[in-house]
Structure 1
Amino acid sequence: MSAPSPHPVASRAATHAGAALRLAAAALAHLRRARALHPAGRSFAGEVTIWGTAGPPTGVALLDEPGRYPATVRLSKGVPTPGSWPDVLGLAVRVHLDEERPFDLLASSSAAPPALRAVPLPRRRFAGTYTTIMPLHAGGRRVWLAALADPESTDLGRSLADVGAATRADEPRLVLAVASAAGPWRPFGQVSIGTQLSARQDAALAFDPIGNLPAGLSAVGPMAWLRAQTYRGSREARGARVQSGGSLGVTV
């Protein structure tokens, strides 16, 4: 039996609400002359190494099977506050899987405990816990992805300038992990942060955390819809387009 079609009134309401959100995001991007969300940031060439998921597999091949992939990494401030003032910090990792579609992992500064991993939290230091905030679906279960501080890595500091200096001195790392709603974080890989890209390349990057997901991982629900509309409005205002291929080119 097929699923019932959405009610025409509800469908029109969703269409109008989506348009309003896109317009609001576009207006903010025009005002800032930059991204609507996380306008201040630095982008870097990087690499993602997958070790495989410890314990039961997630059902997502990218997380469960060892591999190594080139990546583009962006660290950012959300408001943005000046210098080393506290802010909701952002981490975006584009994993260049193949020529079909990349994987865009977007995470915000948060906390590791189950009750807080869905809450964006301001902090000063760029090394710390970042989570997807929004749950993702894998094998019919809700999961969160995270990037956690690596105690053996070069510190990323408290400002975007510090982040740039850290990458010139070494190749900082963050540990990638997955968790259920109440379970512990299970590390499955790491992201290494390399050479800084130019300001022009950073400005051209456009991520899609809803559309650019690997096979077996999906984003559904009100939060996913809200994010999809907001990011779309911001991209349209900047004249940016989401990269549909896995090319290493960063003009997206």
Structure 2
Amino acid sequence: MTVTPPPSRSAGRVATAVERASSALGRLRRGRLLHPAGRSFVGETVIWGTPGPPSGVALLDQPGRYRTTVRLSKGTPTPGSWPDVLGLALRLHHDDGRPFDLLVSSSGAAPGLRNLPLPRRRFTGTYSTITCYRAGRRRLWLAVLADPDSVDLGRSLATAVAATRTDTPRLVLAVASAVGPWRLVGQVSLGAQLSAEEDAALAFDPVRNLPPELRVAGPLAWLRDQTYRGSRRARGATAQSGGSTATTV
């Protein structure tokens, strides 16, 4: 997948500088530069298909079932249940190709709030991609929403882990246009927690690990690409590092 650099003659030098700065900060932190505090789980995603007009992305439009790795995280991170920009990362594994990495952050559900990362206390809520995708000429936003019939994930990473030990928490995958309502396309289930070593090894690439019809749009995509490259470089990880090989939930 090609990521378009910002419109500048010195784009190459800027990209190198951003990646090196991200790598240096990652080494100072001795771990992930972004969302360092988190817990990872075995999961499963069931795609029901897109209701109404198709999105143009086969993975979302066609029913399917995917082994999934799920990571819940705190952005800063703040202590315990203090408000923070919460993160949810999904890796949908394909047996015959590149995985689909979806990273979403706590946000509002309304159109005007989908682009804004919003701090909150609870892990059960709305998470959106913040930046949009393009599928052909369509602009799309993806989100993970609370399932009202599921057990609550609570206010901390500890309560989220506890929920997976006694139940199977579920979240809902959704797609929307810039101003349209969320259309529910699937369900994500969380199972057993992965070890701390597996969590540390896991590395996502939300810009390049995408279905062939989908690409990240806008200048933030370029910045995100360089930042994640630098963070992975500092940890000695790759865009395909980690992920659950356990049985799905």
2:59 to 59, 62, 75: 62
Say whether the 8 Å CA contact 1:73–1:93 is kept in structure 2: yes
> What whole-Å deviation, never above 9, does each CA across 1:106-155 have from its counterpart, x for those lacking one?
00000100001011000000000000001000131111000000010010
Say whether the 8 Å CA contact 2:173–2:187 is kept in structure 1: yes
Unaligned residue ranges in structure 2 (runs of 5+)? none
Match of 1:77 in 2: 74
- For residues 233 and 29 of structure 1, the distance between their equivalents in structure 2, rounded to whole angstroms, comes to 8
- For residues 243 and 197 of structure 2, the distance between their equivalents in structure 1, rounded to whole angstroms, comes to 18
Does the alignment pair 1:19 with 2:16? yes
Residue type at the aligned position of 1:218: R
Say whether the 8 Å CA contact 2:147–2:170 is kept in structure 1: yes
Pairwise CA distance, 1:27: 2.0
- For residues 191 and 172 of structure 1, the distance between their equivalents in structure 2, rounded to whole angstroms, comes to 8
Does the alignment pair 1:10 with 2:2? no
> What whole-Å deviation, never above 9, does each CA across 1:170-225 have from its counterpart, x for those lacking one?
11011000000000000000110110000000000000000000121111321110
Match of 1:106 in 2: 103
Residue type at the aligned position of 1:10: S
Runs of 4+ in 1 over 2 A off after TM superposition: 246-250
Does the alignment pair 1:194 with 2:226? no
TM-score by length of 2: 0.93
Match of 2:26 in 1: 29
1:121 to 118, 123, 129: 118
SS of aligned partner of 1:59: coil
SS of aligned partner of 2:144: strand
Match of 1:46 in 2: 43
Pairwise CA distance, 1:241: 0.9
- For residues 8 and 127 of structure 2, the distance between their equivalents in structure 1, rounded to whole angstroms, comes to 35
Paired residues in the alignment total 241
Unaligned residue ranges in structure 1 (runs of 5+)? 1-5
Say whether the 8 Å CA contact 1:126–1:158 is kept in structure 2: yes
Match of 1:3 in 2: none
- For residues 51 and 96 of structure 1, the distance between their equivalents in structure 2, rounded to whole angstroms, comes to 17
Match of 1:163 in 2: 160
Does the alignment pair 1:231 with 2:228? yes
Say whether the 8 Å CA contact 2:42–2:244 is kept in structure 1: no
Pairwise CA distance, 1:34: 1.0
**What's the RMSD between the two structures over aligned residues?**
1.7
Say whether the 8 Å CA contact 2:198–2:243 is kept in structure 1: no
Say whether the 8 Å CA contact 1:47–1:69 is kept in structure 2: yes
> What whole-Å deviation, never above 9, does each CA across 1:30-64 have from its counterpart, x for those lacking one?
12111000000000000000001111011111001
> What whole-Å deviation, never above 9, does each CA across 1:51-90 have from its counterpart, x for those lacking one?
0111101111100111111000000000000000000000
Match of 1:139 in 2: 136
- For residues 33 and 52 of structure 2, the distance between their equivalents in structure 1, rounded to whole angstroms, comes to 39
Pairwise CA distance, 1:24: 1.9
Sort the Cα spacing of 1:249 and 1:232 in 2 relative to 1 into closer, same or farther, 3 A: farther
Say whether the 8 Å CA contact 1:210–1:218 is kept in structure 2: yes
- For residues 39 and 58 of structure 1, the distance between their equivalents in structure 2, rounded to whole angstroms, comes to 33
